[in-house]
Amino acid sequence: MTDPSQARCATLPLPLFAAVMGLSGLGLVWQAAGEHWGLPAPIAGAVGLVSATVFVLLLAGYACKAVIAPRAVLEEIRHPVRINFLPAISISLILLGLQAQSTTPSVSLWLWGSGAALHLILTVGIVTRWLGGEQPAAALNPAWFIPAVGNVLVPLAAAPAGYAQLGWFFFAAGILFWVVLGVMVFHRLITGPALEPPMRPTLAVLLAPPSVAFLAWHALTGDVGTAGTLLFYVAVMTALLVVAQLPAFARLPFFPSWWAYTFPAAAFTVAVFHYSDATGANVDMLLGLLTGAVTILLLGVSALTLRALYRGNLNH
Distance CA 188, CA 192 (A): 5
Hey, how many other C-beta atoms are within 10 angstroms of the C-beta on 60? 12
**pLDDT of amino acid 1:** 40
Nearest to 37 by CA among 219, 288, 290, 289: 288
**pLDDT of amino acid 210:** 96
**pLDDT of amino acid 134:** 72
CB 214 within 8 Å of CB 269? no
Mean pLDDT, to the nearest integer, of 64-74?
88
- Range of weakest confidence among 128-137, 180-189, 213-222: 128-137
Hey, how many other C-beta atoms are within 10 angstroms of the C-beta on 44? 23
**pLDDT of amino acid 293:** 97
Q: What is the pTM of this model?
A: 0.93
Per-residue pLDDT reduced to its tens digit, 248-274: 998 999 888 899 999 999 999 999 999
Domain regions of the chain by residue span: 4-311
Hey, how many other C-beta atoms are within 10 angstroms of the C-beta on 252? 13
| Superfamily for the 4-311 domain | Voltage-dependent anion channel (1.50.10.150)
- Gyration radius (Cα) of the chain, Å: 19
Mean pLDDT, to the nearest integer, of 294-312?
90
